[in-house]
Amino acid sequence: MNIFGIGIDIIEINRIENVLERTPRFLERNFTEKEIDYFKQKNFKSESIAGNFASKEAISKAIGTGIRGFRLKDIEILRDELGKPIVNTYNNLREICIKYNIKEIKVSISHSENYAVANAIIISEN
- Residues belonging to the binding site for Mg(2+) are 9, 57
β-partners of residue 9 are: 118
Question: For residues 112 and 89, is the Cβ–Cβ distance under 8 A?
Answer: no
Which of the residues 40, 42, 45, 61 is marked catalytic?
Answer: 61
> Which parts of 14-114 are beta strand (E)?
75-79, 85-89, 102-111
Q: Give the phi and the psi of residue 104 in degrees, each rounded to 5.
A: -155, 145
Instruction: Compute CA distances 3 → 8, 28, 116, whole Å.
Output: 14, 32, 24
The yes-or-no answer on residue 61 being catalytic is yes
Please give the Cα distance from 55 to 72 (Å, whole number): 10
Active site residues: 61, 111
